[in-house]
Chains A and B, each alone.
Chain A
Amino acid sequence: MVGVFFAYFALVSIVAAVLTVSLRHPVHCGLALLTLLLHVSGLFVLLNAEFIWAVQVIVYAGAILVLYLFVLMLLNLKTDERYFHSSYPYFIVPAALGSVYVLFLLLQSPFDGVKGDAPVTAILEGGDTYAVGIKMFSDHILQFEIVGIFLLGAIIGAIVLAKAPRTMGDVGGKR
């Protein structure tokens, strides 16, 4: 049963990614990206990561994608006639060959490593959100603070960049 869900989420993710890269109109690309993000969040549910699932739906599909669609609406783009790079066949063939080779290597390699201290039963006992919170506010508190400062800087930078510049006439005058 998990395999069926995994196959569905994985196939739709890959198809949506290809559509995002290959569709002509930017709004269609944004909607394909939305499909991709929601199905990737489905993969997170299969991996017992409910908190990452919620963050993915809220932040990615809720905030970032709305930002993209808002900018698309603001710019009101004309569709370019030549919308691929002029030499794109030279990129596609090596990318396809590289993908096949990497898949061949990945599907036959036995991944293993040192097991950590959070087995599935321990996570299911208190819930994934509890486990993430305990880990974040004990071992990873410095990264948490750094991400907070980073987001503050990003907000200030975005506002400063995107603010409408004052024209020469009204410098110092009333607006």
Chain B
Amino acid sequence: MVPLSAYVAVSAVLFMTGLLGVLIRRNFIIVLMSVEIMMNAANINLVAFSHYLESMSGQLVALFNIAIAAGEAAIGLAIIVVVFRGKISTNVDEMNLLKW
């Protein structure tokens, strides 16, 4: 029997990896992929607690989380396409149009 803390530990490592990717990568698409890693870490946590605490609500929140991740990917990639059309770059450091 795998203990619950093992799942939580895997989830924590994945979340830290995704956070590191958001902070250090400069390509906008890779930053969005790192956000997907963090969402997957949250889903592992939700489903693991749902299993060990014998409640279905965690799985449902994970399901809604997947739907929200799909919407986030669509909007984020559309923004990338718009920015790339104007500036020919997906580098997050060069997207400073809204910077005051």
Contact = CB atoms under 8 A, between A and B. Distances in A.
15 contacts: A2-B2, A20-B34, A21-B21, A26-B27, A43-B7, A49-B50, A55-B63, A84-B24, A85-B23, A103-B9, A135-B57, A143-B64, A153-B71, A157-B75, A162-B81
Contacts of B60: 132, 135-136, 140, 143
Nearest to A23: B30
A13 B2 contact: no
A80 B82 CA distance: 20
Interface residues of A, number: 86
Interface range on chain B (Cβ under 8 Å from partner): 35 or more
Interface in B51-82: 51-57, 59-60, 62-64, 66-75, 77-82
A27 to B, nearest CB: 10
Interface of B: 1-2, 4-10, 12-14, 16-21, 23-27, 29-30, 32-34, 36-37, 40, 43-44, 47-57, 59-60, 62-64, 66-75, 77-82, 84, 90-91, 93
A151 B25 contact: no
B83 to A, nearest CB: 10
Contacts of B59: 49, 51-52, 128, 132, 135
Interface of A: 2-3, 6, 10, 13-14, 17-18, 20-21, 26, 29-30, 33, 36-37, 40, 43-44, 46-49, 51-52, 55-56, 59-60, 63-64, 67-68, 71-72, 74-75, 77, 80, 82-85, 88, 91-92, 95, 98-99, 102-103, 106-111, 113-120, 123, 128, 131-132, 135-136, 139-140, 143-144, 147, 150-151, 153-155, 157-159, 161-162
Q: Helix, strand, loop or mixed for chain B's interface?
A: helix
B90 A77 contact: yes
B26 to A, nearest CB: 6
Contact of B53 (A6, A77, A115): A115
Contacts of A120: 51, 54
A99 to B, nearest CB: 4
Given A80-B26, A158-B74, A64 B69 contact: yes
A39 to B, nearest CB: 10
Contact of A47 (B48, B73, B81): B48
